[in-house]
Amino acid sequence: MRIKTVRSNVKVGCDVEVGEKTIIVGPNGSGKSTIINAIELALTGRASDIAGRVDVAREADIMSLAKDGSGELEALVGFDDGVVAAYRTSGSTAKAKKASGDKPSDRCHDEVLPIRTLREAVLGSPQTARKYLLAKVGGATTRADVRNLLPVPVQPLWDNLAATHPATTPVADVLVAVLEAAAQRARDAASEAKTNRSTAKAVGDGFAAPPSEADLDAARAAVKAARTAFAAADQHSLLATRLAQAQERAERAALDAQAKADAFGKAKVEHAAVPSPVGNTESLLAIADVMTQSVAAGECLPCGGSTKPVGDRLREVQAVLKKSAEDTARHRAVTVALDRARSEAERALAALESAEEDVATLLAEQQTPAPVGRDAAEAALDAAQKALATLNSTRENWAIVQRAESSAIDAERRAAEWKTLKEACEGAVGTVLDKALATFIARVQSNLPASDKFDMKLRDGEREVVAFGLVSADGKLRTALSGAEWARVMAAMAEACVDAGKYACIVPEERAFDPKTLSDVLKALSSCSHQVIIASPVAPKPLPKGWTLIKRGVEE
């Protein structure tokens, strides 16, 4: 497949047909980059050479390419099989709508413009270039091969990180991902160790050595003794108040005891005034009641004779017995009252004696000076508590220091492990590249004319490098290439980095070649297996066979 048509309102706009090998010719400002930018947008959603930047994807920036300040921007690329790739956005350079369009996955992949990605990779750091080349030429290596290249202690780390990638992920991609993850984790662990070290230093500086358990026990005992001394001093300082309260209680108890004694005396008088009961008055009264009822019925129970004399006598006896029963009941009542009064008098007397004992005890205590004053005892207690708090605080701070130190040691261990894995992966990258380098060089050479001898070096002694170019007659590697040589080499390397089954468009950098040199460059690019589109301010002389010439003469 190949691009057949390019239609767009980018810059001055275009509607052209291109061939398998196409050269766009025109002076500066004639619209050559219009076609190139349209292809870039339709295939990748990004454009180059905008405001001095190599690669631009933000829609508002891309709107600067719109023709005549139009609020709509469109780029359409039609393939020879009828498939169309498109890019559309609208708005202004201040604010633009999110881009939309069709991006056929089989031809709008990351490597569709391989020279652009190749240039960014090989002109970057050696690490970036090596990772890029690894992904391109390390396909024959297996995960087991990589694992065997690593030191045994870090192989489990490789296993854990590699396992996070599906089995279908290319080994080169896994190796690069593990390398980057190991580097990041090494940095994170080192940062964690540094933070913990700083914490340990900040907390530990200025503190005495951590107290022993014996030191803490002694401090706790000192607090307990100081608390006891303060309680005693506090109680002694309250003696006057307590004595006054005890004396007041004693006075109240004396008054209560006197009142209870008076009540008891009165109860004894009342008890003495009541006659003691004689015999069983209640039983005799009950018998008299029965006999009185019989006489009232006209019958004398003892003799059966006249009831009148008996009745009169019985009533007299009944009256005497009733009076005696009343006296008995009253005697019982005053006896109960006497017992109660006696008991209350005894309790009141006991309370008085207790109160007087309290007063006597407090008077004796008041005469005994306190071992230490209340203020001094309180100050001693405060000092003892502060000393214990300081020891506890010191111990806790040292616990924090120890935890921070332990965490720092653990983080440093992990940082060392991750660093070892990172360095081992970097070595593995080099080893894999070293093994695959000859194959890659052969692939690049197959895309160059026989007169060009390509070579690449990945090491300069122990130093990792990425150096490539053409070998001179004396066998030395020339990395300072002419414009024509650079175009040929970059195109050949791009060809080698793209799978033969994938569509790609080789777009070499525009150079100010003379017509003859340009013609030679085109001849060299004729062997590319992918579509080639190149722009130049001059036309080649002659135009090689198989090349489509597009002339641009309208000012942008």
Q: Is it true that 3-148+446-551 and 221-376 share their CATH fold?
A: no
pLDDT of residue 282: 58
Lowest-confidence pick of 6-15, 236-245, 297-306: 297-306
- pTM of the entire structure? 0.57
Cα(123)–Cα(121) distance, integer angstroms: 6
Distance CA 87, CA 468 (A): 36
Instruction: Indicate the pLDDT class of residue 36, thresholds 50, 70 and 90.
Output: very high
Given a cut of 50, whether residue 115 has pLDDT beyond it is yes
DSSP 304-337: SS-SHHHHHHHHHHHHHHHHHHHHHHHHHHHHHH
Specify the 3-state DSSP secondary structure of 445. helix
Per-residue pLDDT, averaged over 31-40, amounts to 92
Is the pLDDT at 550 greater than 60? The verdict is yes
Residue type, 156: P
Q: What is the pLDDT of residues 160-213, one digit of tens each?
A: 999 999 998 888 888 888 998 999 999 999 999 999 888 888 777 766 678 889
Q: What is the mean pLDDT of residues 232-244?
A: 79
Architecture of the domain delimited by 3-148+446-551: 3-Layer(aba) Sandwich (3.40)
- Predicted local distance difference test score (pLDDT) of residue 52: 44
Residue 303: which region, alpha, beta or left (left: phi > 0; alpha: psi -120 to 50)?
alpha
Q: What is the CATH number of domain 221-376?
A: 1.10.287.620
As a whole number of Å, the CA-based R_g of the chain is 59
Q: Is the pLDDT of residue 555 over 50?
A: no
Q: Stretch 37-62: mean pLDDT, rounded?
A: 81
Q: Which sign, positive or negative, has the C-alpha torsion 106, 108, 111, 115?
A: positive
pLDDT at 343: 92
pLDDT tens, position by position, 147-161: 999 999 999 999 999
Structural domain boundaries of the chain?
3-148+446-551, 221-376
- pLDDT (0 to 100) of residue 428: 85
Phi-psi sector, 313: left (phi>0), alpha (psi -120 to 50), beta: alpha
Q: What is the residue-averaged pLDDT of the chain?
A: 85
Question: What mean pLDDT do residues 103-110 have?
Answer: 87
Check the CA dihedral 485-488-494-496 and report its sign. Answer: negative
Tens digit of pLDDT for each residue in 533-546?
999 999 999 999 99
